[in-house]
Structure 1
Amino acid sequence: MKASSDIGYPDAPGFKAHGPSEDAATMMAATARSLRERVLATIAASAAGLTADEVAAQLNKSILSVRPRVAELHRQGEIRPAVNRGTNASGMTASIWVVSPPLPASEGQS
Protein backbone atom coordinates (compact mmCIF):
# COMPACT_ATOMS: atom_id res chain seq x y z
CA MET A 1 0.00 0.00 0.00
CA LYS A 2 1.37 3.42 -0.87
CA ALA A 3 1.31 6.37 1.48
CA SER A 4 0.01 9.81 0.75
CA SER A 5 2.89 11.52 2.55
CA ASP A 6 6.49 10.98 3.55
CA ILE A 7 5.21 8.90 6.45
CA GLY A 8 4.29 5.42 5.26
CA TYR A 9 1.28 3.25 5.93
CA PRO A 10 0.14 2.41 8.58
CA ASP A 11 1.32 5.65 10.19
CA ALA A 12 -0.50 7.62 7.48
CA PRO A 13 -3.54 6.76 5.39
CA GLY A 14 -2.69 4.63 2.38
CA PHE A 15 -4.20 4.04 -1.02
CA LYS A 16 -4.12 1.22 -3.55
CA ALA A 17 -4.66 3.19 -6.75
CA HIS A 18 -4.13 6.73 -7.96
CA GLY A 19 -7.30 8.77 -8.31
CA PRO A 20 -10.15 8.96 -5.79
CA SER A 21 -8.48 6.59 -3.30
CA GLU A 22 -5.30 8.66 -3.31
CA ASP A 23 -7.33 11.88 -2.98
CA ALA A 24 -9.21 10.48 0.02
CA ALA A 25 -5.95 9.38 1.70
CA THR A 26 -4.47 12.83 1.17
CA MET A 27 -7.54 14.55 2.61
CA MET A 28 -7.65 12.22 5.62
CA ALA A 29 -3.94 12.61 6.43
CA ALA A 30 -4.50 15.76 8.49
CA THR A 31 -6.98 14.11 10.88
CA ALA A 32 -6.04 10.43 10.76
CA ARG A 33 -3.55 10.55 13.63
CA SER A 34 -5.93 12.20 16.10
CA LEU A 35 -8.80 9.92 15.09
CA ARG A 36 -6.50 6.87 15.40
CA GLU A 37 -5.63 8.02 18.94
CA ARG A 38 -9.33 8.41 19.80
CA VAL A 39 -10.10 4.96 18.35
CA LEU A 40 -7.30 3.42 20.44
CA ALA A 41 -8.50 5.18 23.61
CA THR A 42 -12.07 4.00 22.99
CA ILE A 43 -10.95 0.39 22.55
CA ALA A 44 -8.68 0.62 25.60
CA ALA A 45 -11.58 1.90 27.73
CA SER A 46 -13.63 -1.24 26.99
CA ALA A 47 -12.53 -4.26 29.01
CA ALA A 48 -14.37 -6.63 26.65
CA GLY A 49 -13.20 -4.88 23.47
CA LEU A 50 -15.25 -3.39 20.66
CA THR A 51 -15.96 -3.97 17.00
CA ALA A 52 -15.04 -1.19 14.58
CA ASP A 53 -18.77 -0.43 14.19
CA GLU A 54 -19.13 -0.05 17.97
CA VAL A 55 -16.13 2.29 18.07
CA ALA A 56 -17.64 4.40 15.28
CA ALA A 57 -20.96 4.59 17.15
CA GLN A 58 -19.29 5.64 20.41
CA LEU A 59 -17.25 8.32 18.64
CA ASN A 60 -20.23 9.41 16.52
CA LYS A 61 -18.04 8.98 13.43
CA SER A 62 -18.59 7.27 10.11
CA ILE A 63 -17.58 3.65 9.99
CA LEU A 64 -15.83 4.61 6.74
CA SER A 65 -13.39 6.77 8.71
CA VAL A 66 -13.05 4.43 11.70
CA ARG A 67 -12.44 1.07 9.99
CA PRO A 68 -9.22 2.25 8.29
CA ARG A 69 -7.93 3.61 11.61
CA VAL A 70 -8.65 0.21 13.21
CA ALA A 71 -6.70 -1.48 10.40
CA GLU A 72 -3.80 0.93 10.91
CA LEU A 73 -3.76 0.30 14.68
CA HIS A 74 -3.78 -3.45 14.05
CA ARG A 75 -0.92 -3.15 11.55
CA GLN A 76 1.02 -1.06 14.10
CA GLY A 77 0.56 -3.77 16.73
CA GLU A 78 -1.45 -1.51 19.03
CA ILE A 79 -4.58 -3.69 18.95
CA ARG A 80 -5.35 -7.32 18.23
CA PRO A 81 -8.50 -9.32 17.57
CA ALA A 82 -10.05 -10.93 20.64
CA VAL A 83 -10.81 -14.65 20.66
CA ASN A 84 -14.55 -14.04 20.45
CA ARG A 85 -16.31 -12.17 17.64
CA GLY A 86 -19.12 -9.64 17.59
CA THR A 87 -21.70 -8.58 15.05
CA ASN A 88 -21.56 -5.53 12.82
CA ALA A 89 -24.43 -3.39 11.51
CA SER A 90 -25.01 -5.72 8.55
CA GLY A 91 -25.49 -8.70 10.86
CA MET A 92 -22.22 -10.32 9.81
CA THR A 93 -19.64 -11.38 12.37
CA ALA A 94 -16.87 -8.91 13.03
CA SER A 95 -13.62 -8.86 14.95
CA ILE A 96 -13.73 -7.53 18.46
CA TRP A 97 -10.61 -5.48 19.03
CA VAL A 98 -8.64 -5.26 22.27
CA VAL A 99 -5.41 -3.50 23.16
CA SER A 100 -2.34 -5.60 22.48
CA PRO A 101 -0.08 -6.42 25.39
CA PRO A 102 3.14 -4.41 25.39
CA LEU A 103 5.98 -5.98 23.44
CA PRO A 104 8.67 -7.52 25.63
CA ALA A 105 11.91 -5.59 25.84
CA SER A 106 14.53 -7.00 23.50
CA GLU A 107 17.55 -8.60 25.08
CA GLY A 108 20.52 -6.33 25.02
CA GLN A 109 18.47 -3.14 25.27
CA SER A 110 18.93 -1.00 28.33
Structure 2
Amino acid sequence: MSYPDTAGYKTPGASKEAAIAVRDQARVLRKRIVAYLKSQYPRDYTADEIAEHFGLSLLPVRPRLAEAHYAREVEQSGKRRLSRAGRRVNCWRAVLTEEEKAARHG
Protein backbone atom coordinates (compact mmCIF):
# COMPACT_ATOMS: atom_id res chain seq x y z
CA MET A 1 0.00 0.00 0.00
CA SER A 2 1.07 3.54 -0.59
CA TYR A 3 -0.10 7.09 0.06
CA PRO A 4 -2.94 8.00 0.49
CA ASP A 5 -3.96 4.49 1.54
CA THR A 6 -1.41 4.57 4.35
CA ALA A 7 0.17 7.37 6.35
CA GLY A 8 2.94 8.99 4.35
CA TYR A 9 6.40 10.29 5.08
CA LYS A 10 8.89 12.41 3.18
CA THR A 11 12.17 11.23 4.62
CA PRO A 12 13.45 7.96 6.07
CA GLY A 13 14.16 7.82 9.77
CA ALA A 14 11.82 9.23 12.40
CA SER A 15 9.19 10.33 9.85
CA LYS A 16 9.00 6.86 8.32
CA GLU A 17 8.94 5.20 11.74
CA ALA A 18 6.08 7.46 12.87
CA ALA A 19 4.08 6.74 9.70
CA ILE A 20 4.47 3.00 10.20
CA ALA A 21 3.55 3.27 13.90
CA VAL A 22 0.25 5.05 13.22
CA ARG A 23 -0.68 3.26 9.98
CA ASP A 24 -3.68 1.30 11.31
CA GLN A 25 -5.01 4.07 13.55
CA ALA A 26 -4.62 6.58 10.71
CA ARG A 27 -6.62 4.43 8.31
CA VAL A 28 -9.44 4.05 10.85
CA LEU A 29 -9.50 7.77 11.68
CA ARG A 30 -9.58 8.71 8.00
CA LYS A 31 -12.58 6.43 7.44
CA ARG A 32 -14.32 7.94 10.47
CA ILE A 33 -13.68 11.49 9.25
CA VAL A 34 -14.96 10.74 5.74
CA ALA A 35 -18.05 8.96 7.13
CA TYR A 36 -18.75 11.90 9.42
CA LEU A 37 -18.47 14.41 6.58
CA LYS A 38 -20.72 12.25 4.39
CA SER A 39 -23.31 12.09 7.16
CA GLN A 40 -23.25 15.89 7.43
CA TYR A 41 -23.22 16.65 3.68
CA PRO A 42 -23.42 19.36 2.36
CA ARG A 43 -22.21 21.04 5.56
CA ASP A 44 -18.53 21.87 5.70
CA TYR A 45 -16.09 21.93 8.58
CA THR A 46 -12.62 23.21 9.36
CA ALA A 47 -9.98 20.74 10.51
CA ASP A 48 -10.33 22.28 13.99
CA GLU A 49 -14.08 21.62 14.00
CA ILE A 50 -13.54 18.02 12.89
CA ALA A 51 -10.90 17.50 15.57
CA GLU A 52 -13.25 18.91 18.18
CA HIS A 53 -16.07 16.60 17.05
CA PHE A 54 -13.82 13.57 17.62
CA GLY A 55 -12.27 14.95 20.81
CA LEU A 56 -8.82 14.99 19.23
CA SER A 57 -6.04 17.46 18.72
CA LEU A 58 -5.58 18.89 15.27
CA LEU A 59 -2.37 16.92 14.73
CA PRO A 60 -3.86 13.58 13.61
CA VAL A 61 -6.75 15.21 11.72
CA ARG A 62 -4.90 17.40 9.24
CA PRO A 63 -2.92 14.59 7.59
CA ARG A 64 -6.04 12.41 7.37
CA LEU A 65 -7.82 15.25 5.53
CA ALA A 66 -4.84 15.56 3.19
CA GLU A 67 -4.96 11.81 2.47
CA ALA A 68 -8.73 11.91 1.92
CA HIS A 69 -8.36 14.94 -0.35
CA TYR A 70 -5.66 13.21 -2.38
CA ALA A 71 -7.98 10.20 -2.70
CA ARG A 72 -10.85 12.53 -3.74
CA GLU A 73 -12.99 11.54 -0.75
CA VAL A 74 -13.20 15.13 0.53
CA GLU A 75 -12.88 18.54 -1.07
CA GLN A 76 -12.47 22.13 -0.06
CA SER A 77 -15.88 23.79 -0.08
CA GLY A 78 -14.53 27.18 -1.09
CA LYS A 79 -15.43 28.66 2.29
CA ARG A 80 -12.98 29.75 4.96
CA ARG A 81 -13.54 30.25 8.68
CA LEU A 82 -11.37 31.21 11.60
CA SER A 83 -9.36 28.46 13.23
CA ARG A 84 -8.73 28.25 16.97
CA ALA A 85 -5.50 30.11 16.26
CA GLY A 86 -7.47 32.96 14.68
CA ARG A 87 -6.39 32.25 11.10
CA ARG A 88 -8.72 31.90 8.13
CA VAL A 89 -8.59 28.23 7.08
CA ASN A 90 -10.25 26.09 4.45
CA CYS A 91 -13.50 24.26 5.11
CA TRP A 92 -13.90 20.64 4.01
CA ARG A 93 -16.88 18.58 2.91
CA ALA A 94 -17.36 15.05 1.64
CA VAL A 95 -17.31 14.11 -2.02
CA LEU A 96 -20.33 11.92 -2.63
CA THR A 97 -20.44 9.14 -5.21
CA GLU A 98 -23.23 9.21 -7.80
CA GLU A 99 -24.97 6.42 -5.87
CA GLU A 100 -24.79 8.40 -2.63
CA LYS A 101 -26.17 11.48 -4.38
CA ALA A 102 -29.04 9.46 -5.85
CA ALA A 103 -29.84 7.89 -2.47
CA ARG A 104 -30.08 11.36 -0.89
CA HIS A 105 -32.55 12.52 -3.53
CA GLY A 106 -34.50 9.34 -4.00
TM-score, normalised by the number of residues in structure 2: 0.84
Residue 21 (1) aligns with residue 15 (2): yes
Residue aligning to 1:34? 28
Which one-letter code corresponds to 1:53 in the other structure? D
C-alpha deviation, 1:98, in angstroms:
0.8
C-alpha deviation, 1:41, in angstroms:
1.9
CA RMSD of aligned residues (A): 1.6
Residue aligning to 1:58? 53
Q: More helix by proportion, 1 or 2?
A: 2
The DSSP-based 3-state class of the residue aligned with 1:86 is strand
Which one-letter code corresponds to 1:16 in the other structure? K
Gaps of 5+ in 1: 1-6, 104-110
Residue aligning to 1:43? 37
Q: Deviations over 1:33-89 (max 9, x none)?
A: 110011112222334211111101100112111110000000000110002111211
Residue aligning to 1:108? none
Choose from 40, 64, 73 the match for 1:69.
Answer: 64
Q: Structure 2: how far apart are the matches of 1:21 and 1:91?
A: 29
Residue 92 (1) aligns with residue 87 (2): yes
Q: Structure 2: how far apart are the matches of 1:57 and 1:72?
A: 19
How many residues are aligned here?
98
Residue 80 (1) aligns with residue 75 (2): yes
Gaps of 5+ in 2: 99-106
Higher normalized contact order (CA 8 Å, seq sep 6+, divided by chain length): 2
The DSSP-based 3-state class of the residue aligned with 2:27 is helix
C-alpha deviation, 1:11, in angstroms:
0.6
